[in-house]
Amino acid sequence: MSLLKAEPSAPVTSLAELFAIAFAMEQEAEGRYAAIGARMRSDGEIALAEAFEKLAADERGHLDSVSDWSRLAHGRPPDPAMIRWTAPETFDDEGAATADPRLLSVYRTLSMAVRNEERAFAFWSYVAAHASSADIRTAAEALAHEELGHVALLRRERRKAFHRERHQAQGESETPPTAAELERRLADVLDAAAQSADPSRETLLRFAAEARRQAQQLEEGAVAIPIGSVPPKLDAPLAIAEFLLDRYLEAADRARDEAAMMLAQEFAARAINRLAWLRRDLPELG
């Protein structure tokens, strides 16, 4: 059950409880996809908005399906009062709700959705394996089968998005910037903002100086920070700061020796402090 963060704390003991759990899971996913989609649309990220809106619409279809099944099985819609325990978390937006839209893509959005459906499949497979009766096992197996179908559909859409985005990237001839270059780019933006950001001027200048020191360390080979593909027009301070934080955390996770891991973690710690301040005290920088 490695896909689940924790195993269910108790078996499902009735179809009414099973339908209530299924409805609650789909309802959470629908609400969170819809909220992220609304945020993307308000930020002008239409392609991302449409991707999340499509996911939300799919989840609404799943909600209707569970409701219909519940009424057919025992004459009532799903009742949240039937849930006796907290189900393990199967939905994870992987930071999409708070990430800068410029760091997201349709491929990343669909990848997150695939993982959510895979966790839901794992959950219902577990419920089926520990069912207290044949009817509960049959229903849980049917829900697991449905989730597997959702995984297959989303994986196909994800492949299409991957090829579209790779084609777009191949059309861009620019060499991706290094982590050091991105630190210097951030320093320049913060320096410029400091000229008209009183009383935040001193903090901005401090973060700009820190970014230049970090850039120098990176250029001297302190630690390797793989960058990979870079979102287009990565020029707003929040987007740059968040992108760099993700890269430092990845480098720490993939480090092959303790010294490299510790240094990447040190860079990440500074990046976290920087990003937290920018989000809290300087939202107008975008």
CATH number at residue 110: 1.20.1260.10
Domain boundary among 112, 144, 170: 170
The Cα angle at residue 275 between residues 272 and 281, in degrees rounded to 5: 130
Domain boundary among 141, 170, 199: 170
Does residue 211 sit within a domain?
Answer: yes
Does residue 72 sit within a domain?
Answer: yes
- Helix (H) / strand (E) containing 176: none
Q: pLDDT at residue 231 above 80?
A: no
Q: pLDDT at residue 135 above 80?
A: yes
Instruction: Looking at the structure, tell me whether residues 54 and 150 fall in a common domain.
Output: yes
Kindly state the average pLDDT of the residues 126-136: 91
Per the model's pLDDT, the better-predicted residue between 106 and 230 turns out to be 106
Q: How far apart are CA 25 and CA 87, in angstroms?
A: 9
Q: How confident is the model at residue 185 (pLDDT cuts 50, 70, 90)?
A: very high
Does residue 137 sit within a domain?
Answer: yes
Does residue 7 sit within a domain?
Answer: no
What CA–CA distances, in Å, run from 97 to 31, 33, 39, 150, 285?
12, 9, 8, 22, 19
pLDDT recorded at residue 282: 65
Instruction: Looking at the structure, tell me whether residues 66 and 204 fall in a common domain.
Output: no
Q: Which of 82, 285, 79 is nearest to 200 (CA)?
A: 285
User: How many domains does the structure of the chain reveal?
Assistant: 2
Kindly state the average pLDDT of the residues 179-186: 92
pLDDT recorded at residue 44: 84
**What percent of the chain is modeled with pLDDT above 90?**
24
Instruction: Looking at the structure, tell me whether residues 156 and 203 fall in a common domain.
Output: no
Kindly state the average pLDDT of the residues 17-35: 92
pLDDT recorded at residue 234: 76
Instruction: Looking at the structure, tell me whether residues 123 and 27 fall in a common domain.
Output: yes
Q: How far apart are CA 177 and CA 185, in angstroms?
A: 10
Q: How far apart are CA 214 and CA 207, in angstroms?
A: 10
Mean pLDDT of the chain: 83
What CA–CA distances, in Å, run from 109 to 29, 37, 47, 113, 121?
13, 11, 11, 6, 19
Q: How confident is the model at residue 4 (pLDDT cuts 50, 70, 90)?
A: low
| Structure confidence by residue, pLDDT tens digits, 256-266 | 888 888 888 88
Q: How confident is the model at residue 233 (pLDDT cuts 50, 70, 90)?
A: low
Instruction: Looking at the structure, tell me whether residues 96 and 238 fall in a common domain.
Output: no
pLDDT recorded at residue 1: 40
Per the model's pLDDT, the better-predicted residue between 247 and 198 turns out to be 247
pLDDT recorded at residue 87: 66
- Domain hosting residue 271, numbered range: 179-285
pLDDT recorded at residue 173: 47
Does residue 61 sit within a domain?
Answer: yes
Does residue 5 sit within a domain?
Answer: no
List of residues 6+ apart from 261 with CB closer than 8 A? 252, 255
Residue 83 tokens read as: 């849930």
Q: Where are the alpha helices (DSSP H) in the chain?
A: 15-42, 46-74, 106-129, 134-170, 179-194, 201-219, 237-254, 258-281
Instruction: Looking at the structure, tell me whether residues 90 and 114 fall in a common domain.
Output: yes
Q: Which of 174, 190, 166, 171 is nearest to 241 (CA)?
A: 190
Per the model's pLDDT, the better-predicted residue between 119 and 2 turns out to be 119
Q: How far apart are CA 206 and CA 148, in angstroms?
A: 51
| Structure confidence by residue, pLDDT tens digits, 193-230 | 888 766 788 888 999 999 999 999 888 887 788 777 77
Instruction: Looking at the structure, tell me whether residues 249 and 212 fall in a common domain.
Output: yes
Given a contact cutoff of 8 angstroms between Cβ atoms, the answer to whether 17 and 82 are in contact is yes
Residue 244 tokens read as: 């760099």
Per the model's pLDDT, the better-predicted residue between 166 and 38 turns out to be 38
Residue 175 tokens read as: 């060499």
Kindly state the average pLDDT of the residues 101-122: 82
Does residue 212 sit within a domain?
Answer: yes
pLDDT recorded at residue 134: 94
Instruction: Looking at the structure, tell me whether residues 64 and 161 fall in a common domain.
Output: yes
Given a contact cutoff of 8 angstroms between Cβ atoms, the answer to whether 26 and 59 are in contact is yes
Q: How confident is the model at residue 71 (pLDDT cuts 50, 70, 90)?
A: very high
Kindly state the average pLDDT of the residues 95-123: 82
pLDDT recorded at residue 177: 84
Kindly state the average pLDDT of the residues 176-203: 86
Instruction: Looking at the structure, tell me whether residues 50 and 154 fall in a common domain.
Output: yes
Is 252 in a helix, a strand, or coil?
helix
Instruction: Looking at the structure, tell me whether residues 190 and 106 fall in a common domain.
Output: no
- Whole-angstrom distance between the N-terminal and C-terminal Cα of the chain? 40
Given a contact cutoff of 8 angstroms between Cβ atoms, the answer to whether 48 and 97 are in contact is no
